[in-house]
Amino acid sequence: MRTLKLPLAAVLLTATSAIADPDLEVQFVQLDADSDGFVALSEWSGGFETFDNLDRDGDAVVTRNEFFTRGTRYKSREENFRDLDADKDGRVSASEWKWGEQTMSVLDRNGDGFLSRQEFRCQAKGGRTAQQAGGK
C-alpha cells in the first residue's frame, strides 16, 4: 500500500499548481500512513514536541495546511481555546467544536458534553487522542 503513495504524490503534484513545495507534499504523503489526509501522532516519526508545535489547533492531527505553513507565527493553545469558545463561557460545547462528535467524546474526559481548558490542554499534552479512539 505504501508503494502507491509516491505515484499518487506525483499525480497530485502534476495536477495541482497550488502546491508551493513538492518535497513537502511528498513528505506529507509518506507520513500519512493511512492516507486519511491527516498525520496522527501514531504516524509521526519525529518527536512529540515537534508534532505538538505543528498541530496548531490542538486537534491531535497535523493537517496539510499545518504541515505546509510550519515555522509561521501561530496561536497559543490558550488563544485557540478562546477562539473556539464562541460564547465565552469558559468551556467549548459540541456546537463550538469543529472536529466532530467522536473527537469531542474522546476529549471530554468527564463526559459533561463540554471541553474545559484542562481537557483541551490535556489532549494537546500527550493525553488520549482522537486517533487512539478511532476518530478525527
The Cα 28–Cα 54 span in angstroms is: 12
Give the chain's end-to-end CA distance (angstroms, integer). 22
Distance from the Cα of residue 105 to its chain's centroid = 16
Output the pLDDT for position 118. Answer: 87
Taking 50 as the threshold, does the pLDDT of residue 19 lie above it? no
The Cα 131–Cα 37 span in angstroms is: 13
pLDDT (tens digit, 9 = 90+) per residue, 57-113? 888 899 988 888 876 665 677 888 888 999 999 999 999 988 888 888 888 889 999
CB 114 within 8 A of CB 91: yes
Residue 114 pairs in a beta bridge with: 93
Which of these ranges, 12-26, 52-66, 106-120, has the smallest mean pLDDT? 12-26
Taking 90 as the threshold, does the pLDDT of residue 50 lie above it? no
Output the pLDDT for position 134. Answer: 38
Map out the domains of the chain with their CATH numbers.
2-68 (1.10.238), 77-124 (1.10.238.10)
- State the amino acid at position 106 in one-letter form: V
* Residue 35 vs residues 1, 6, 28, 39, 127: alpha-carbon distances, Å: 10, 12, 10, 9, 24
